[in-house]
Amino acid sequence: MREKAKAQAGMLYDANFDEELLKERAAAKELLYEINHLRPSQHSDKDRLYKKLIGKLGERFLIESPFHCDYGYNIEIGDDFYANVNLVILDGAKVKIGNHVFIAPNVGLYTAGHPLNIAKRNAGLEYAYPITIGNNVWIGAGVSVLPNVVIGDNCVIGAGSVVTHSIPPNSLAVGNPCRVIRTLNEEESE
């Protein structure tokens, strides 16, 4: 079984030494270099390159530079998306982002993790589990979202949070580890 197939199946895979994955990451890095070095006024060039990099990209998006990811093709973004500077998406597994999502500066979406076993970790093995972010979500500055997390529709994740578990829809959640503080009322969720 190829390492890429292992990653897609949620198994341990060789992300550090597999030639296919190294080539794919290198291709993404080349596109990212171009994107991150364009002038702010070069919107159409940026949009064209993002459409080449990202697996699925909705209508009306703005991703401020710099932006970083591993592959790009595992990222799906809905309509009306905004990401401020320094968004990092480690997309060894799928990252699905809904419509009307706003992401503040210095946010990381991390599908990858490493085994606790020293020998496996030193061999370059890792796992990747998906991340899903619903519609109408606001993620505050400096948030880290870890593997296998689902953030439900209409959530607000407070600045500096480390999201280690899924967050139900209509929640205000903050902290390290991130926890639900309260359910957003109907007026706040509209």
CATH number at residue 88: 2.160.10.10
Determine how many CB atoms are found less than 10 A away from the CB of residue 161: 23
Model confidence band, residue 60 (pLDDT cutoffs 50, 70, 90): very high
By residue range, what is the domain housing residue 159? 3-189
Q: How far is CA 26 from CA 2, 21, 130, 162, in A?
A: 18, 8, 22, 28
Domain tally for the chain? 1
Prediction pTM value: 0.95
- Exposure string (b/e) for 164-180, b if CB count within 10 Å is 16 or more? eeebebbbbbbeeebee
In this prediction, residue 185 carries a pLDDT of 83
Q: Write the pLDDT tens digit of every residue in 135-188.
A: 999 999 999 999 999 999 999 999 999 999 999 999 999 999 999 999 998 776
Active site residue 68: no
Catalytic residue among 37, 68, 100, 114: 114
